[in-house]
Amino acid sequence: MLKLFAPRTALRASARSGAPIPAFRPSAFPLTCNAAFRRGYASEAEERDLIVIGGGVAGYVAAIKAGQAGLKVSCIEKRATLGGTCLNVGCIPSKSLLNNTHLYHQILHDTKNRGIVVDGVHMDIAQLMKAKETSVSGLTKGIEFLFKKNNVEWVKGTGAFADEHTVDVNLVEGGERSLRGKNIIVATGSEATPFPGLTIDEEKVITSTGAIALKEVPKKMVVIGGGIIGLEMGSVWSRLGAEVTVVEYLGQIGGPGMDAEVAKATQKLLAKQGMKFKLNTKVTSGDDSSASVKINVEAAKGGKEETLDADVVLVAIGRRPYTAGLGFENIGLEVDERGRLIIDQEYRTKIPHIRVIGDCTFGPMLAHKAEEEAVAAVEYITKGYGHVNYNAIPSVMYTHPEVAWVGQNEQELQKEGVKYKVGTFPFSANSRAKTNLDTEGFVKFLSDAETDRILGVHIVGPNAGEMIAEGTLALEYGASCEDVARTSHAHPTLSEAFKEAAMATYDKAIHF
């Protein structure tokens, strides 16, 4: 085999240099070798209206949208299933674990008051993971079906730019293909940011990928990073019995987008569930050379060092664009200091027919943001116009209670010097929340002090992830708090808390 493939490399070199290529007689080789040669040799570039690099949320949505518009589309994805990080090892499997562990935790701690007596409850970790995989499998196969329905070709492999219009693909099954695209969309997503000094093995030192696949409940877990991913995954294993300690450099959990009042309330609620927090704390070093992992921490501004022992350490300090091996240097595409590909307002790079969407460029690393960009980018290609309102992109944390927000928070408004009003309404005063025995949290509105226009909506409480859609729609249409308050909301529903919070902002709530 080595002797067979050496001449193939030489042939490619001759082709690139323009030197004459010696005649080649396939009949000189046995049939099996002949087949191997054909698999290994790159075919002539195949023309496409659109090539999408990446089959994650941004990529597959772009491919389907373009297919619906009648474009000839190829989507390059190396993973064995479509859907990228979100569907395979991120959003979807984590929500399965969050939902099912919440049910388990509720049965253990919250059924007696409801008149439900349960004995002998235990968690079957293997079945928990099987339920997760069933959800993932169904959704990823659904995308594959949609590709076929919309005539999108899935090219299974890794793509790299050969020139401004050509993408060479190393096929998963062996060999190469070259695709030539009139338009190209890069949607390669992101990867977990590693922590210096700790080796990710997805067993002792894990990212979110390892956090959804642990085979047993650790006794002690340290989460480095108090953002959404760290809190969600920490919450899963805390419910199952792990002693979870969250170490966060900032003075609040949830990341910079979460409203400070909401973050403080959420931390108290999670602490009641057993999670521990070390805020304003930095990790100075870690040692994973023994059976357990030792994490050294100290105050963010400096101080006495402390050592934390853990069976498992979850590194959740954020994500970074995944662009390795794409051959951007071959065509001169530019990245910023954070590795994000530089684009204009129409998602175009310096090469106009090459566009970038999703996690590998600017903006929040959210699946729904990536979807919106995918639709807009294809519309720019097919119609000449597209639109995404980045001021109306919701965020959700799927702990219990859930946390959701859209628009600006108080800290941002204060920094900008905007005069605003605040209105809140607690779920403890909501009739449906009371009947559900799930009354923790509140809805908070922020509005312009003069015009009453809604500037931000923040929710911590039951069903927050669904309820925030109403806030996003209101923000998109430039609604006022009075617009929301004068809209009839069904009774009894949790959404009445949303209506009453709007009333509290421009006038007074009725039930509180």
How many Å apart are CA 61 and CA 65, to the nearest integer?
Answer: 6
User: What pTM does this model have?
Assistant: 0.89
Residue 287 β-bridge partners: 294
Kindly report, residue by residue over 270-301, the tens digit of the pLDDT: 999 999 999 999 999 999 999 999 999 999 98
User: Domain locations in the chain?
Assistant: 48-192+320-383, 205-317, 401-506
**pLDDT at residue number 302:** 84
* Sequence ranges of the binding site: 95, 159, 188-190, 225-232, 248, 318, 359, 365-368
**Out of 102, 387, 491, 511, which one is annotated catalytic?**
491
* Sequence ranges of the binding site for NAD(+): 225-232, 248, 318
Per-residue pLDDT, averaged over 16-40, amounts to: 38
pLDDT exceeds 70 at position 447: yes
How many Å apart are CA 36 and CA 30, to the nearest integer?
Answer: 10
**336 and 204 in contact (C-beta within 8 Å)?**
no
Predicted confidence band of residue 40 (pLDDT cuts 50, 70, 90): very low
Strands laid side by side in the 220-224 sheet: 205-206, 312-315, 220-224, 243-247, 276-278
301-307, Cβ contacts within 8 angstroms, sequence gap of 24 or more: none
How many Å apart are CA 468 and CA 484, to the nearest integer?
Answer: 13
**pLDDT at residue number 1:** 33
Tell how many helices (H) and how many strands (E) occur in the chain: 15, 21
pLDDT exceeds 70 at position 34: no
Closest CA to 468 of 397, 401, 406, 398: 406
**410 and 261 in contact (C-beta within 8 Å)?**
yes
How many Å apart are CA 323 and CA 399, to the nearest integer?
Answer: 31
3 state DSSP class of 49? strand
Fold agreement (48-192+320-383, 205-317): yes
Kindly report, residue by residue over 218-275, the tens digit of the pLDDT: 999 999 999 999 999 999 999 999 999 999 999 999 988 899 999 999 999 999 999 9
Overall CATH class of domain 48-192+320-383 = alpha beta
Q: How far is CA 320 from the centre of its chain?
A: 11
Kindly report, residue by residue over 403-445, the tens digit of the pLDDT: 999 999 999 999 999 999 999 999 999 999 999 999 999 999 9
How many Å apart are CA 210 and CA 50, to the nearest integer?
Answer: 34
How many Å apart are CA 155 and CA 54, to the nearest integer?
Answer: 10
pLDDT exceeds 90 at position 180: yes
**432 and 496 in contact (C-beta within 8 Å)?**
yes
* Sequence ranges of the binding site for FAD: 95, 159, 188-190, 359, 365-368
Q: For 401-506, CATH number? A: 3.30.390.30
Share of the chain above pLDDT 70, in %: 91
The full 3-state SS of 226-278, as one line of letters, equals: CCHHHHHHHHHHHHCCCEEEEECCCCCCCCCCCCHHHHHHHHHHHHHCCCEEE
**pLDDT at residue number 45:** 76
How many Å apart are CA 381 and CA 443, to the nearest integer?
Answer: 40
Superfamily of domain covering 205-317? FAD/NAD(P)-binding domain (3.50.50.60)
Is 491 catalytic? The answer is yes
